[in-house]
Structures are given as C-alpha cells and as structure tokens.
Amino acid sequence: MTIYREDLEPRFKFEVAELPEGQNVKECFACGSCTGVCPVSQILPEFDPRKILHMISLGLKKHLLSSDLPWYCTGCSTCKFVCPQDVRFNDVIKALKLLALQDGYVDADTLSEMGKLAVVDERRCVGCLTCVRLCPFSAPSIEEGKGVAYIEPLKCVACGICVAECPVKAIELKLSEDVRRFSSFDLLRKEEMGEPNIVAFCCHYTAYACSQDLQNLPKLGFPENVRVEIVPCSGSISISRLLNAFEEGADGVYVAGCLDDTCHNVKGSRIASNRVNYVRNILSQLNLDSSRIEMYMISREPNRGFIDVAKDMTERIKILGPSPLKGK
C-alpha cells in the first residue's frame, strides 16, 4: 500500500477515541498481543489488529474505513483478555464500523454486496422471531410498526445462521471475498475407480486453519473422492442443503466445524450438529444407514484433523457401499 502525505488525517485517532467504544485506542503501544491470539488473523493474515491500530494512529482514515478490514472482526473478544493496556480492540472495531457508516464510506447495500451483511426481504418476512432467537450476536430485531425483521449492520458478522434457519427463506447473504476465495476449492471425485462420492461442508475458519494451501491437500493424503464446499460457518448449512447432497448423488456427507467451545460464531457448530442429527433421523426413517452423515468438530490449530476426518468418512462409506438413493 502506497501512502502519501495527503492520505494522513491526524484527527482520525481522536475521532475514534471520542466514541465510547474507541476511548482506549490511544493506550496502544503496539505490542502485538492482540494479533497473536486473533483467530481471524490466523485465517486472514491481512486482518492484523496491530496493523489496524497503527493505521488509526497514522491517520489513514480513508484507507481503513473504505476497506473490508473492520468487517472481518466477529467480536469474539479474545484480544480483550491479553491486552496489557486494556485497549479492547474488538470495541475499537465497533467504533470503526460506526464511523464508516456515519461518514458514508459504506452503507447497508455495500455491505450486502460485500457479503458482510445478511438482508431481509420484507415481502417474505412474517416476523416469526426465528432469526432473533438464533443469532449469536443479537443482530436481528423486529421493526416496530412494520412487524418484519431488520438486521443491524453493526452487529451482523455474516455467519449465515439466520439464512439457513429462516422458514420462509426471507434472508439473503452473499458470499464474501474471504469465503469466495476458498469456496472454489473442488477436489476431483474418482467414482470411476470405485471410490465413494462424499460431500464435505466445511467452515472456512476450520478448513483454512487446518491447511492454508487447500490445493495441496491431495499431496498430504486428503482423499480425492471428497468434494469440499467451503461455507461461512457450519451453522449456515441448512437441513435441506444436507439432504440435497444425497439427492444429487452423494454416498456420504459430513460437516466440519470448529470445536464447540471455540466456535468463531459462538454456537454455529452446535446448531450444525443439531441439524446433522435431524438428518440422521430422516435417513433412518428412509431405511438408510444414519452413519452416512457425520458432524466433525476440529481444532482451528494447524493439524491433520481436516485430512483425518476425510479419511475416516471415506473408509466408513466404503464399508456401507453406494447410497441406495443414487440414480433415483
């Protein structure tokens, strides 16, 4: 990034500090503790809390507020517990988001196009409160006088949990650039060699943390018969999407998400697990082996877990054989 003198706005740091959420920003002495523990930074190196705080200090208002960076933070508060100066970076991010919206650097439409904001179709919404109950971040509310849901841009982290659960499909969330970057990953199936056809829905935080170079997974032993679909959060996968995978010819399906107590979106893995169990019951009612679908919770630390669960599922489905639904 090239910086010119005219890019610097010295008052920017004070603008941030004048907001309640950003009042401690001037206490930062750039130790980097926040970056060291940030789960987003581990997945997206360009999201560097220390660097963002430095940009505030330099006065790079336009560069920062017109970028995607503030919208990558999910407010997990991990940074808050390690900062020796009590800067509370997650709160500073809230201040940046507020300034970006107030000063017109972004608006709801822009965030929607960026895939950073779920949007409600008011023509379909029936005000059932499903999204209000489920959202880990209290982003949806029912608008007074309208009786339909509204999603607050400052609170939405684009996890997609509400999209999957909305009974009337009134909520839309486009793929963000960070998810799109990994969603094109598609390993070739080898059905002609007798290998089972397996579809894996993987939380992009889990998938990318386990292997930052997804295209090299086959060299590391990842089964090439497994087709990986990267999703914003394991909680964004609906029951119908899981069932559709079987209808489209999958012999087995699994979901890979974060460990329950470290889920990036608080309860995404738990919600996904409940949906997988629901699909298991449906398979049993259809006289199909319910073990054709599985939920795996994997540590976000770099490890072989991502590869091991793919191997485990492949061996399981080899024993079960092709899905009876295939070809129907």
Q: What is the pLDDT of residues 130-172, one digit of tens each?
A: 999 999 999 999 988 999 999 999 999 999 999 999 999 999 9
**Domains of the chain as residue ranges with CATH:** 5-106 (1.10.1060.10), 109-172 (3.30.70.20), 177-320 (3.40.50)
Q: What is the pLDDT of residues 198-232, one digit of tens each?
A: 999 998 777 765 655 566 677 888 898 998 888 88
0.85 surpassed by pTM: no
Q: What is the pLDDT of residues 70-80, one digit of tens each?
A: 988 877 778 88
Give the pLDDT band of residue 296 (cuts 50, 70, 90).
very high
Q: In which region does residue 157 sit, left (phi positive, over 0), alpha (psi from -120 to 50) or beta (all else)?
A: alpha
Give the pLDDT band of residue 183 (cuts 50, 70, 90).
low
Answer for the pair 263, 327: CB distance below 8 angstroms, yes or no.
no
* pLDDT for 3: 82
| 48-62, 175-189, 192-206, 296-310: the lowest-pLDDT one | 175-189
Cβ neighbours of 290 (radius 10 Å): 16
HSE-up (13 A, CA, CB side) for residue 156? 27
Spatial distance between the Cα atoms of 125 and 150, rounded to a whole number of angstroms:
10
Run of H or E including 132 = helix 130-134
* pLDDT for 177: 64
| 89-98, 192-201, 292-301: the lowest-pLDDT one | 192-201
Q: Is the pLDDT reported for residue 186 higher than 60? A: no
End-to-end CA distance of the chain: 54
